[in-house]
C-alpha cells in the first residue's frame, strides 16, 4: 500500500477517533508505522482496543476498499494533503480525515452557513430561499447539512442561481440522508459543489454523529445565518460550535408569537447580528466594497418579456394608488402580474387582497382577482393555503428595496459587540 492508503486504513479503525489517531501518529510517526506496530500498539491503546484492531485487520483489505471508493468518485483527504480545507485546519481539533463526493469548497471563496428548522414555516421557506439565492449570486458558497427544511431550501436556491453549495452529512458521503433530498444530493454534485463527511463511506446516519457534522458545517463557513429555530433545537448546537470557533452568527428576526422564531429572537437578544438583507452578511464578509470580486450577475427576470420585467420593477404600491380605474390600466395591472405585489409569505384571504388592491386605486372584481391568483399559482409564484387564502412563493424579491440597509454597521459603530 502507498502512504495515502495507509492514512485511509488508519481512519477506518474501529474505536479510533481523531484524537486517538493523533496519539498513534505522535507515538509511531506515520500511518504505515502504526499499521506495522501490532503488539506495540498496547503502549498507546488498551489491550481490548488493540484486539479490536487486530480482528478488524483480518477482514479488511485497505487497498481494495480504497480503490473501490475511488471508483465511486469519492475522494479522501487528510491534514497531510495540500487540498485539505484551510478553514478546518484552524479548528482546535481538525478532523483527521475528510471524504468528498464532488469538489471541496475553495479556500479563496467566501462561505456562509444557512441553517434552521426542519419543520419550517412558509415564512422560513421564503426567507431561506431569498438569502440562499442572493448570497449565491454574490459568489458566496452556501454550506449546510442538506437537512429537510431551511438547510435544503437555502442550498436549492443557491443551485438555482448557479452558485456553489456544499453539504456536510452525518453519515457516509455515499449515503443520501434524508432520502427525500435525493434530487438535491445529485444536483449539488452536478452543480460543481460537494458532499462532505468525516465518516467513512457506508457509515449509516446516527444521532451521535450529527454534532460532529454540525461542527464541520460551522468550521467550513465564515459566518452562520439562522433563519428559523425553536428555543431548544439542534440548530443552536451548530450556533454554539460556531461561537466556539470565533465565527459571527446572524439571525433572521421573527414574530414574537411564532415558536419557530424563538431561537432567532433569543440569539438577537444575546447579541447576534440581525439579518435583514443579504447585504448585512456581505458586509460582514467584507465584500460590499468589492462587488466585482464576488460577481456582478444580475437578478434573473421574471418569466415573460423584458417589457413585463421592467413593468414589474417600475410599479409600486405608491404609484398604483395614483392610477385611474380605466380598463386599460386594469388590464396592464393583471398582465404585469402585479397582484404579486400584494402577497407576502403569510397567507391572505382573497377578500383581504381585494380590499388592499382597491384601496391602491385599482378597480378589480373578485373573479378577476381569483383568476390572476390561480395564474400565479400555475407559474409557481404563489400558492394556495386552503380555502381562498394565498401566499407568495417561488423566487422571492424580498430585498429589492432594502439592500442599502446599514443597521448592523451602525450597531458596530456604537461599540456593541456581536456574538
Rounded-to-integer distance, Cα 301 and Cα 400, Å: 13
Specify the residue for cell string 382577482.
369
Cβ-contact 140, 170 below 8 angstroms: no
Whether 202 contacts 177, CB under 8 Å: no
**In terms of domains, do 193 and 330 share one?**
no
For the chain, the average pLDDT equals 82
Q: Strand pairing of 348-349 and 389-392? A: antiparallel
- Please check the confidence at residue 407 and state whether its pLDDT lies above 70: no
Q: Tell me: pLDDT of 333 over 50.
A: yes
pLDDT in tens, 103-126: 999 998 999 999 999 999 888 998
Which set of grid coordinates corresponds to residue 301?
427576470
Q: What digits encode the pLDDT tens for the residues 73-88? A: 999 999 999 999 999 9
**287: pLDDT strictly greater than 50:** no
Mean pLDDT of 162-176: 96
Q: Which pLDDT score is estimated for 344?
A: 77
Residue 415, domain member (yes or no): no
Burial of residue 418 (number of CB atoms within 10 Å: 0-12, 13-18, 19+): middle
Strand partners, 225: 114, 250
CA atoms of 193 and 141, how far apart (whole Å): 9
Does some domain include residue 78? no
Task: Indicate whether 278 and 255 sit together in one domain.
Answer: yes
At 314 the pLDDT is: 44
Domain presence at residue 337 = yes
Reduced to 3 states (helix: H, G, I; strand: E, B; else coil), residue 391 is: strand
Is 113:143 a contact under the CB 8 Å cutoff?
A: yes
Domain termination residue (choose one: 227, 259, 294): 294
- Closest by Cα among 283, 243, 244 to 419: 243
Segment (H or E) for 197 = strand 194-197
CA gap 158, 137 in Å, rounded: 8
Provide CB contacts within 8 A for 166, sequence distance 6+. Answer: 104, 105, 111, 141, 142, 143, 144, 188, 193, 194, 195, 196, 220
| Dihedral sign for Cα atoms in the order 82, 73, 15, 87 | positive
Rounded to a whole number of angstroms, the CA Rg of the chain reads: 25
* Cβ atoms within 10 Å of 400's Cβ, excluding its own: 10
For residue 406, name the pLDDT band (cuts at 50, 70, 90). Answer: very low
| C-alpha span between 366 and 127 (Å, rounded) | 29
Pick the last residue of a domain from 294, 321, 344: 294
Q: CB under 8 Å, gap of 24 or more: what pairs does 413-419 form?
A: 416/271, 417/271, 418/248, 418/249, 418/271, 418/272, 418/273, 419/243, 419/248, 419/249, 419/267, 419/270, 419/271, 419/272, 419/273
Residue 160 predicted with pLDDT over 90: yes
- pLDDT tens digits, one per residue of 229-244: 998 888 999 999 999 9
Domain with 334 in it: what CATH number?
Answer: 1.10.10.10
pTM, full prediction: 0.72
How far is C-alpha 340 from the chain's CA centre? Answer: 26
pLDDT of residue 288: 34
Q: What is the DSSP letter of 385?
A: -
Is 407 part of a structural domain of the chain?
Answer: no
More confident position, 292 or 375: 375
Considering the domain architecture, whether residues 264 and 323 belong to the same structural domain is answered as: no
- Chain segment 9-45, per-residue pLDDT in tens: 999 998 888 999 999 999 999 999 998 887 788 888 8
Whether 382 shows a pLDDT value over 90: the answer reads: no
Percentage of the chain surpassing pLDDT 70? Answer: 80
CATH number for the domain spanning 255: value is 3.40.50.450
| Percent of the chain at pLDDT exceeding 90 | 50
- List pLDDT tens digits, range 187-215: 999 999 999 999 999 999 999 999 999 99
Look at residues 120, 415, 163, 397 and name the one whose alpha carbon lies nearest to residue 278: 397
The three-state secondary structure class of 229 is coil
Domain boundary among 294, 317, 349: 294
Q: How many structural domains does the chain have?
A: 3
Q: Would you say residue 418 lies in a domain?
A: no
Q: Does residue 97 belong to any structural domain of this protein?
A: no
DSSP string, 99-143: EEEE-PPPTTS-EEEEE--SS--HHHHHHHHHHHHHHHHTTPEEE
Element (H, E) at 144: strand 141-144
Boundaries of domain holding 44:
1-65
Task: Give the helix/strand (H/E) hosting 195.
Answer: strand 194-197
Amino acid at each position: 500500500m502507498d502512504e495515502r492508503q495507509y492514512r485511509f486504513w488508519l481512519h477506518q479503525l474501529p474505536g479510533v477517533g481523531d484524537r486517538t489517531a493523533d496519539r498513534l501518529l505522535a507515538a509511531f510517526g506515520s500511518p504505515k508505522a502504526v499499521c506495522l506496530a501490532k503488539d506495540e500498539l498496547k503502549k498507546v491503546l488498551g489491550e481490548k482496543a488493540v484486539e479490536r484492531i487486530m480482528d478488524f485487520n483480518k477482514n479488511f483489505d485497505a487497498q481494495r476498499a480504497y480503490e473501490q471508493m475511488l471508483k465511486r468518485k469519492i475522494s479522501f483527504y487528510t491534514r497531510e494533503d495540500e487540498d485539505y480545507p484551510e478553514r478546518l485546519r484552524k479548528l482546535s481539533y481538525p478532523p483527521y480525515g475528510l471524504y468528498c463526493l464532488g469538489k471541496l469548497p475553495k479556500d479563496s471563496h467566501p462561505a456562509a452557513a444557512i441553517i434552521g428548522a426542519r419543520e419550517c414555516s412558509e415564512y422560513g421557506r421564503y426567507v431561506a430561499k431569498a438569502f440562499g439565492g442572493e448570497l449565491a449570486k454574490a459568489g458566496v458558497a452556501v454550506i449546510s447539512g442538506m437537512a429537510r427544511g431551511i438547510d435544503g431550501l437555502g442550498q436549492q436556491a443557491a443551485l438555482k442561481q448557479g452558485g456553489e453549495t456544499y453539504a456536510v452529512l452525518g453519515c457516509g458521503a455515499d449515503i443520501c440522508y434524508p432520502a427525500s433530498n435525493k434530487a438535491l444530493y445529485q444536483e449539488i454534485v452536478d452543480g460543481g459543489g460537494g458532499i462532505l463527511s468525516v465518516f467513512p463511506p457506508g457509515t449509516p446516519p446516527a444521532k451521535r454523529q450529527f454534532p460532529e457534522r454540525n461542527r464541520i458545517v460551522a468550521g467550513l463557513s465564515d459566518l452562520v445565518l439562522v433563519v428559523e429555530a425553536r428555543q431548544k433545537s439542534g440548530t443552536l448546537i451548530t450556533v454554539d460550535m460556531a461561537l466556539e470557533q470565533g465565527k459571527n452568527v446572524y439571525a433572521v428576526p421573527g414574530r414574537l408569537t411564532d415558536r419557530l422564531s424563538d431561537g432567532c429572537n433569543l440569539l438577537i437578544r444575546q447579541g447576534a447580528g440581525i439579518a435583514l438583507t443579504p447585504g448585512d452578511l456581505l458586509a460582514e464578509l467584507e465584500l460590499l466594497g468589492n462587488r466585482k470580486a464576488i460577481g456582478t450577475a444580475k437578478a434573473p427576470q421574471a418569466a415573460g418579456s423584458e417589457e413585463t420585467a421592467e413593468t414589474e420593477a417600475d410599479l409600486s404600491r405608491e404609484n398604483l394608488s395614483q392610477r385611474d380605474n380605466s380598463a386599460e390600466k386594469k388590464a396592464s395591472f393583471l398582465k404585469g402580474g402585479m397582484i404579486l405585489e400584494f402577497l407576502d409569505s403569510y397567507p391572505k384571504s382573497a377578500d383581504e387582497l381585494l380590499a388592499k388592491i382597491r384601496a391602491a386605486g385599482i378597480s378589480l372584481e373578485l373573479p378577476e382577482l381569483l383568476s390572476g391568483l390561480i395564474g400565479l399559482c400555475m407559474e409557481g409564484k404563489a400558492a394556495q393555503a386552503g380555502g381562498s387564502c394565498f401566499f407568495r412563493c417561488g423566487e422571492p424579491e424580498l430585498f429589492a428595496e432594502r439592500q442599502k440597509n446599514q443597521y448592523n454597521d451602525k450597531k458596530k459603530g456604537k461599540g456593541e459587540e456581536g456574538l
